[in-house]
C-alpha cells in the first residue's frame, strides 16, 4: 500500500511514525526521569521531615538533660566546697537571728551555710527552669538519706507548672520516692534514664533522671519531667500528604506519642509491622543506630514508607518515625508525569495535523518534475518544466528542463552517427558536441572509439580478404599437386609393402634356424660339462692316491727305523755273544740272522720307497696334466655357455626382428590405407580450395562498399 502513496503523504506517514516514536520515547524517558527525580525529591523532603521531627524531640531531651545536668554540676561543686571548707558544712550555733537565716525553706530545720546556699540555688534553678522552658513540665531534685545534710534523712525539692503555690516545695520522703523508676533506675545503674510514660496531674509525662555522685558515692538524682503534649510540635499530616503521621517510640519500642491516634500510645512497634520479614529488616537497621527509610506493609495491607530518625535520650535511643502511604507519596509523581504526558500528546497531535499540510504545500511542485521524469522514462523528450523557484525544488525543475534538452540533442546525434555507420559511412562526426558533458562525454567517446575500431577492423578485413584471395589460389594449386602426389605415394607404398612382406618371411625362417642352432649348442655344452665333472672325479681319485702314497712312505720310514734298530740290536747281540764265549755262540748265530734280516728289510724298504717316490712323481705329473685338462674343459664349458647365450640373444633378436618386420608390414598396410585416404581428401581439399577462392573474391567485393576516414 505504501508504494501507491505520493511523496507528501508518504513523508507525512513516515515522519508521523518517527515523531510518534520519538515523542513516545521522550514521554517515557521524561516520565521515568521525572518520576525518579520527583521520587528522590519527595524522599528527601520526607527524610527531612523525619529528621526535623527527631531534632525537635532531641532538643526537648537536650533541654531536660541540660537542666538536670546543671543541678548535677552544682551539687558536685557544692560537695567539693564543703570538703575544702569544713566550717561551711557545720550546723551553726549562736544568735537566733543568724540561725534563723539558715533555717530550711522546706523542712524548717537549721541548715549548714553550704546546704542553705544549695537549697537557695536549687529552689531558684528549678523554678526558673520550669517557668522558662515550655517543654519541661516539672523539675525534681532528690537526695539519698543524710546526703544533703547529715542531720536530715529525707530531702527533696519539686517545682512544677501546676504546683498549687506556684513555688518549689518539699517532695515527700525517701521511702516513697526511692522506689520510683525515675529515681531507682538512675541510682542503681549510675547513668541517665528516661522512664516510660506516666500520668501526673492529668498530664502524660516522661521523667529524665540524672544521678550525681561525689567521690563515687551516690548523692542523689536530678529529674526533669517532660510533658508528652509538647511532642505535638512534630510535623505530621499536611494537605499535600494527608496520610502522613508522626510517632515517637522509646528504647523498648513502645509508642510514647502518636499524632494520628492517641489510643496507639503504649503499643509495641511490632503491632504496626505485621510481616516478619519487614519487622526483621526494621530491627536490623534499628540496631545500627542510624537514620533510614523502609517500605513495609501495614496491618490493613497498605504499603507505607517509614522514615526513622534516632533520638538520644540519655544512654537510651528513642526514634522519631514518620509514616506515609506509598500511594500518597507517589501521587505528586503521578500527577506530574500525567501532566507532561498530556502536554507531549497535545504537541504530537498538533504536529501530526500541521506537518502533512506544510509538506503537501512544499512538495506540490514536485509533481511537475515527476511528470517530466515520467515523460523522459518513456522516451518523450518534448517536455518543458515551467516551475521556477530559488529553493531546491526550483533548482531540480530547472535541471530537469536542461537535462531533457541535452538528452534530446544527444539522442538525435546518436541516431545520426549510428545510422551513417549502419549505411557503411564511417567518414562522419558528431553535430552536437557541446551537449556531451560530464559522464555523457563518455558516450560520444565510446561512439568515436566504436567508429575507429570498426574502421580499423574493416580495413584489416579488406587487407585480409585480399590476402585470403591470393592464398586461396595458392592453396588450390597446392591442393591439386597434393592430390597427384598422394596418388603416386599410394602406388609406391603398395610396392614397399610387398617387399617388406618377403623380408618378413625370411626373418621368420632365420629365427627358426637360430633357435635350432641354440638347441645344438646347448646340448654340446651339456656334454662338455659332463666331461668336466668326470675329470673332477679323476682329480679327486688321484688326490686320494697321493695321500695314500704319503701314508705308505711314512710306514716305510717306520720300517727303516725298525730295521736300523734291529741292526743296532744285532750288533749289540754279536758283541755280547763274543764276550760270552762258548755260551754265546748260539746267540751270536741268532744275532747274525737278525742282522741279515734287518739288512734285507732295509733294502726292501728303500726299494719300496723308490717305487713309491716314482709313483708319487707319476701321480703328481698326472695330477698336473689332469688339472690342466680340467681348466681347458672349464674354459670350454664357459665358452659353450657364452656361445649358447649369444645364440639365444641372436634367436631372441631374430624373433623380435621378425615381430618388428611383421608390425612394420601391418604399419605399411595402415600407411597405405591412410595414403589412399589422404589422396581422396586431397582431391576434396582441391575442390574446397577452389570454392574458398571464389568466396574470398565475393568478400573483397563486399568490403569495397565501405567508406573510411583517410
Q: Does residue 5 register a pLDDT over 60?
A: no
Q: How far apart are CA 302 and CA 324, in angstroms?
A: 10
**Lowest mean pLDDT across 43-57, 252-266, 407-421:** 407-421
The residues, ordered by sequence, that sit 6+ positions from 37 with a Cβ below 8 Å of its Cβ are none
If you average pLDDT over every residue of the chain, what do you get? 79
Do 270 and 100 touch, CB atoms closer than 8 A?
A: no
For 473, counting Cβ atoms within 10 Å of its Cβ (0-12 exposed, 13-18 middle, 19+ buried), the class is: middle
Do 280 and 264 touch, CB atoms closer than 8 A?
A: no
Strand-by-strand arrangement of the 316-325 sheet = 255-258, 245-249, 316-325, 303-313, 292-297
Give SS3 for 249.
strand
At residue 623, the pLDDT reads 73
Work out the percent of the chain whose per-residue pLDDT is above 90: 23
HEC-encoded secondary structure of 439-488: CHHHHHHHHHHHHHHHHHHHHHHHHHHHHHHHHHHHHHHHHHHHHHHHHH
The CB density around residue 63, as the number of other CB atoms within 10 Å, is 18
| Grid coordinates belonging to 23 | 515523542
The residues, ordered by sequence, that sit 6+ positions from 706 with a Cβ below 8 Å of its Cβ are 424, 426, 458
At residue 290, the pLDDT reads 93
Work out the percent of the chain whose per-residue pLDDT is above 70: 78
At residue 557, the pLDDT reads 77
Q: Does residue 279 register a pLDDT over 50?
A: yes
Q: How far apart are CA 170 and CA 165, in angstroms?
A: 12
> Which phi and psi angles does 138 have, rounded to 5°?
-160, 165
In this prediction the pTM is 0.48
Go through 490-516 and write b for each residue having 16 or more CB atoms within 10 A of its CB, e for each that does not. beebeeebeebeeebeebbebbeebbe
Question: Which residue(s) pair with 317 in the sheet?
Answer: 312
Q: How far apart are CA 458 and CA 240, in angstroms?
A: 101
Confidence of residue 219 (pLDDT cuts 50, 70, 90): very high
Give the pLDDT mean for 382-401: 68
Task: Identify the H or E element spanning 207.
Answer: strand 203-214
Confidence of residue 444 (pLDDT cuts 50, 70, 90): confident
For 400, counting Cβ atoms within 10 Å of its Cβ (0-12 exposed, 13-18 middle, 19+ buried), the class is: buried
Query: Strands 193-194 and 203-214: what pairing?
Result: antiparallel
Confidence of residue 540 (pLDDT cuts 50, 70, 90): confident
Q: How far apart are CA 367 and CA 373, in angstroms?
A: 10
Q: Does residue 488 register a pLDDT over 80?
A: no
Give SS3 for 302.
coil
Q: Does residue 65 register a pLDDT over 90?
A: yes
DSSP alpha helix (H) spans, 378-439: 392-422
Confidence of residue 381 (pLDDT cuts 50, 70, 90): low
The residues, ordered by sequence, that sit 6+ positions from 538 with a Cβ below 8 Å of its Cβ are 626
Give the pLDDT mean for 214-221: 94
Q: Does residue 345 register a pLDDT over 70?
A: yes
Which of the two residues, 592 and 153, has the higher pLDDT score?
A: 153
The CB density around residue 705, as the number of other CB atoms within 10 Å, is 9
pLDDT digits (tens, 9 = 90+) for 26-60: 777 877 777 677 777 778 888 888 888 889 999 99
Q: Does residue 3 register a pLDDT over 60?
A: no
For 231, counting Cβ atoms within 10 Å of its Cβ (0-12 exposed, 13-18 middle, 19+ buried), the class is: buried
**Lowest mean pLDDT across 306-310, 412-416, 634-638:** 634-638
At residue 87, the pLDDT reads 87
Q: Does residue 125 register a pLDDT over 90?
A: yes
Which of the two residues, 332 and 103, has the higher pLDDT score?
A: 103
**Lowest mean pLDDT across 29-33, 67-71, 261-265, 317-321:** 29-33
pLDDT digits (tens, 9 = 90+) for 114-124: 999 999 999 99
Task: Identify the H or E element spanning 100.
Answer: helix 96-101
Residue written as grid cell 517515557? 28
Nearest to 153 by CA among 168, 175, 184, 169: 175
Q: Does residue 24 register a pLDDT over 50?
A: yes
Residue written as grid cell 523508676? 181
Confidence of residue 583 (pLDDT cuts 50, 70, 90): low
> Which phi and psi angles does 148 have, rounded to 5°?
-80, -40
Give SS3 for 254.
strand
Q: What is the dihedral of CA 75, 76, 78, 82, to 10 degrees?
A: 140
At residue 77, the pLDDT reads 94
Confidence of residue 1 (pLDDT cuts 50, 70, 90): very low
Query: Strands 217-227 and 203-214: what pairing?
Result: antiparallel
Nearest to 448 by CA among 485, 421, 477: 421
**Lowest mean pLDDT across 115-119, 324-328, 377-381, 509-513:** 377-381
Q: Does residue 20 register a pLDDT over 80?
A: no
Q: How far apart are CA 104 and CA 110, in angstroms?
A: 6
At residue 71, the pLDDT reads 94
Q: Does residue 314 register a pLDDT over 80?
A: yes
List, as own/partner pairs, every contact residues 168-176 make where C-beta atoms lie below 8 angstroms and the sequence separation is at least 24, other chains included: 168/106, 168/122, 168/123, 168/126, 168/127, 169/106, 170/106, 170/107, 171/140, 171/142, 174/142, 174/143, 174/144, 174/145
Give the pLDDT mean for 579-590: 70
Confidence of residue 248 (pLDDT cuts 50, 70, 90): very high
At residue 99, the pLDDT reads 73
pLDDT digits (tens, 9 = 90+) for 167-190: 899 998 999 999 999 999 999 999
For 135, counting Cβ atoms within 10 Å of its Cβ (0-12 exposed, 13-18 middle, 19+ buried), the class is: buried
Amino acid at each position: 500500500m505504501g508504494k501507491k502513496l505520493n511523496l507528501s503523504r508518504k513523508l507525512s506517514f513516515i515522519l508521523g511514525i518517527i515523531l510518534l516514536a520519538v515523542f513516545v520515547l521522550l514521554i517515557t524517558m521524561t516520565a521515568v526521569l521525572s518520576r525518579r527525580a520527583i521520587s528522590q525529591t519527595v524522599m528527601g523532603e520526607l527524610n527531612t521531615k523525619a529528621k526535623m521531627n527527631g531534632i525537635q524531640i532531641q532538643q526537648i531531651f537536650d533541654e531536660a538533660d541540660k537542666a538536670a545536668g546543671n543541678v548535677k554540676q552544682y551539687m558536685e561543686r557544692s560537695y567539693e566546697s564543703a570538703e575544702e571548707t569544713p566550717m561551711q558544712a557545720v550546723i551553726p550555733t549562736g544568735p537566733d537571728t543568724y540561725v534563723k537565716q539558715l533555717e530550711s525553706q522546706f523542712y524548717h530545720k537549721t541548715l549548714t551555710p553550704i546546704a542553705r546556699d544549695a537549697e537557695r540555688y536549687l529552689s531558684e534553678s528549678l523554678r526558673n527552669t520550669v517557668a522558662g522552658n515550655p517543654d519541661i513540665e516539672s523539675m525534681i531534685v532528690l537526695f539519698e538519706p543524710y546526703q544533703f545534710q547529715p542531720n536530715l534523712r529525707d530531702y527533696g525539692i519539686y517545682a512544677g507548672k501546676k504546683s498549687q503555690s506556684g513555688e518549689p516545695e518539699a517532695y515527700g520522703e525517701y521511702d516513697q520516692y526511692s522506689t520510683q523508676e525515675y529515681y531507682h533506675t538512675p541510682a542503681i545503674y549510675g547513668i541517665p534514664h528516661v522512664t516510660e510514660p506516666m500520668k501526673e496531674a492529668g498530664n502524660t509525662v516522661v521523667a529524665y533522671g540524672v544521678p550525681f555522685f561525689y567521690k563515687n558515692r551516690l548523692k542523689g538524682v536530678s529529674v526533669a519531667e517532660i510533658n508528652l503534649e509538647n511532642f505535638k510540635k512534630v510535623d505530621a499530616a499536611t494537605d499535600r500528604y494527608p496520610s502522613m503521621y508522626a510517632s515517637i517510640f522509646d528504647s523498648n519500642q513502645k509508642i510514647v506519642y502518636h499524632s494520628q491516634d492517641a489510643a496507639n500510645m503504649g503499643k509495641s512497634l511490632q503491632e504496626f509491622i505485621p510481616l516478619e520479614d519487614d519487622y526483621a529488616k526494621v530491627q536490623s537497621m534499628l540496631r545500627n543506630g542510624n537514620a533510614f527509610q523502609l517500605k513495609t506493609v501495614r496491618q490493613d495491607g497498605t504499603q507505607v514508607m517509614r522514615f526513622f530518625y534516632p533520638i538520644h535520650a540519655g544512654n537510651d535511643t528513642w526514634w522519631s518515625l514518620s509514616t506515609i502511604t506509598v500511594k500518597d507519596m507517589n501521587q505528586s509523581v503521578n500527577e506530574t508525569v500525567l501532566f507532561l504526558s498530556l502536554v507531549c500528546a497535545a504537541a504530537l497531535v498538533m504536529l501530526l495535523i500541521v506537518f502533512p499540510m506544510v509538506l503537501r504545500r512544499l512538495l506540490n511542485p514536485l509533481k511537475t518534475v515527476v511528470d517530466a521524469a515520467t515523460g523522459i522514462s518513456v522516451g518523450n523528450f518534448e517536455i518543458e518544466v515551467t516551475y521556477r523557484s530559488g529553493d531546491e525544488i526550483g533548482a531540480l525543475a530547472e535541471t530537469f528542463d536542461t537535462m531533457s534538452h541535452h538528452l534530446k540533442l544527444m539522442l538525435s546525434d546518436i541516431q545520426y552517427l549510428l545510422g551513417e555507420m549502419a549505411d557503411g559511412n564511417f567518414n562522419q562526426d558528431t553535430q552536437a558536441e557541446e551537449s556531451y558533458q560530464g559522464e555523457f562525454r563518455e558516450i560520444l567517446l565510446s561512439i568515436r572509439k566504436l567508429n575507429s575500431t570498426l574502421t580499423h577492423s574493416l580495413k584489416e578485413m579488406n587487407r585480409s580478404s585480399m590476402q585470403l584471395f591470393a592464398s586461396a589460389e595458392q592453396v588450390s594449386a597446392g591442393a591439386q599437386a597434393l592430390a597427384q602426389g598422394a596418388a603416386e605415394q599410394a602406388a609406391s607404398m603398395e610396392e614397399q609393402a610387398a617387399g617388406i612382406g618377403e623380408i618378413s618371411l625370411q626373418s621368420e625362417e632365420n629365427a627358426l634356424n637360430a633357435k635350432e642352432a641354440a638347441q645344438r649348442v646347448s646340448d654340446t655344452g651339456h656334454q662338455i660339462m659332463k666331461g668336466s665333472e668326470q675329470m673332477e672325479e679323476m682329480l679327486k681319485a688321484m688326490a686320494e692316491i697321493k695321500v695314500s702314497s704319503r701314508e705308505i712312505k711314512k710306514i716305510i720310514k717306520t720300517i727303516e727305523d725298525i730295521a736300523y734298530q734291529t741292526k743296532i740290536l744285532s750288533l749289540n747281540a754279536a758283541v755280547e755273544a763274543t764276550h760270552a764265549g762258548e755260551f754265546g755262540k748260539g746267540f751270536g748265530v741268532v744275532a747274525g740272522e737278525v742282522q741279515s734280516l734287518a739288512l734285507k728289510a732295509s733294502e726292501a724298504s728303500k726299494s719300496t720307497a723308490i717305487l713309491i717316490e716314482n709313483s708319487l712323481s707319476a701321480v703328481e705329473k698326472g695330477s698336473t696334466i689332469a688339472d690342466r685338462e680340467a681348466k681347458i674343459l672349464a674354459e670350454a664349458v664357459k665358452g659353450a655357455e657364452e656361445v649358447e647365450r649369444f645364440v639365444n640373444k641372436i634367436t631372441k633378436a631374430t624373433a623380435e626382428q621378425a615381430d618388428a618386420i611383421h608390425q612394420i608390414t601391418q604399419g605399411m598396410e595402415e600407411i597405405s590405407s591412410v595414403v589412399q585416404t589422404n589422396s581422396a581428401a586431397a582431391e576434396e581439399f582441391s575442390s574446397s580450395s577452389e570454392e574458398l577462392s571464389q568466396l574470398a573474391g565475393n568478400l573483397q567485393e563486399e568490403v569495397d562498399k565501405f567508406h573510411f576516414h583517410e
